[in-house]
Chains A and B, each alone.
Chain A
Amino acid sequence: MAHFKKKRGKSSPEVSTASLPDIIFMLLFFFMVVTVLRDGERLVKVVVPEATQLQKLEQKSLVNHIWIGRPIEKYQAVYGTKPRIQLGDKFATEHDIPLFLEQHKIKVPEPQRPAITSSLKVDGDVTMGIVTDVKTILRKSGQLKVNYSARPKQK
């Protein structure tokens, strides 16, 4: 009988915290998956050229991306095959760039604004004409720090 009593005494269990790490892990996975997907749709085909003298872009929040390339097949019927600019997740012309830069700028705290870099992701087969136009606009808007995106050369 003493045996049974002992058992009853034990049966006031605390809430099990064993599953807590699992819940945390689930959250972690959720965020990992979401961050990968949140990259946005590519409307233009961009294969950046290869280069060797590469520098890493620090601090993602200070970088805005300008994509230049030919529209992907799905959009060729509407937008043709001439190189196009993509800002954010839509097609744009070079005249939309100043507004785009300004919209990015206001999200950055003021002391960090001089460090804002524009990352030009340009397809290797695009000719310099459109790139020059974009560069001119960037200079006119005072966005002088530019990074020509490239991938490391395969040896």
Chain B
Amino acid sequence: MAKTSSRDRMKNEINAGSMADIAFLLLIFFLVTTTIDVDKGITVKLPPWSDEAPEIQQLRSRNVFSVLVNAQDQLLVRGELTDINDLRERAKEFISNPQKREDLSTDPKNAIISLKNDRGTSYKQYLAVYNELKAAYDELWDEECERLYGIPYSDELPIAYKKAIKDKIPMVLSEAEPTNFGEEN
């Protein structure tokens, strides 16, 4: 009797119940270790190319916020040497002009930020400057959105809201052809 029972046991298949657990363990291991690197960055819309020289527009100098970056990565904002950490605040003040000062923009709609760099400017500095200017607009949009709708600005807002805000504070950032004084490497 004992013999039969042992033969019976040999007929049994390998217990596959734990295989699923092992598979799950591996799956979880891979899920945890794989880093899905999301591509992030600053999205920009470049102006279309035209072969003709652009028309020279007369702009009132109070409406233009010029930012120059030289090959030594120094910033000249409206004629004065500025630290990059102050750029965001200055740009915000220029665009919104809360105190209605004579030398800042008449209206956010008329404000133009003009960015010019050198061919020798480092990309790091260029992106930092761009980031600060974008941040100035983002913060203004955020404040405007809070004021109008009571919610912070985000890309998921209804298009009508976004349009209303961007009509009020359009982002105008013009990039001039870079100068060619510095050394490229």
Interface residues of A (CB under 8 A from B): 7, 11, 16, 18-19, 21-22, 25, 28-29, 32, 36, 48-49, 51-57, 60, 63, 82-83, 117, 119-120, 122-132, 135-136, 138-140, 142, 144-152
Contact = CB atoms under 8 A, between A and B. Distances in A.
B184 A130 contact: yes
Interface string B87-130: 00000000000000000000000000000011111111011101
Chain A to chain B: the 3 pairs with minimum beta-carbon distance, closest first: A129-B119, A124-B124, A18-B16
B184 A127 contact: yes
Q: Select the residue from A48, A132, A142, A145 with max chain B CB neighbours within 10 A.
A: A132
Interface of B: 8, 11, 13, 16-17, 19-20, 23, 26-27, 30, 34, 38-49, 71, 117-124, 126-128, 130-131, 134-135, 138, 155, 178, 180, 182-185
B42 A150 contact: yes
A53 to B, nearest CB: 4
A30 to B, nearest CB: 11
Nearest to A32: B30
Nearest to A125: B122
Interface of A is mostly: mixed
A139 B46 contact: yes
B134 to A, nearest CB: 4
A55 B42 contact: yes
Contact of A127 (B43, B121, B127): B121
Contacts, number: 147
Contacts of A16: 13, 16
Given A48-B41, A119-B39, A148-B130, 17 more contacts: A11-B11, A16-B16, A18-B17, A29-B26, A51-B41, A52-B135, A53-B131, A55-B41, A124-B127, A125-B124, A127-B183, A139-B49, A145-B43, A146-B45, A148-B41, A150-B131, A152-B40
A117 B13 contact: no
Contacts of A18: 16-17, 19
Contacts of A123: 123
Contacts of B49: 136, 139-140, 142
A32 to B, nearest CB: 6
A149 to B, nearest CB: 4
Contacts of A132: 119, 178
A150 B44 contact: no
A150 B127 contact: yes
Given A51-B127, A52-B131, A128-B178, A144 B34 contact: no
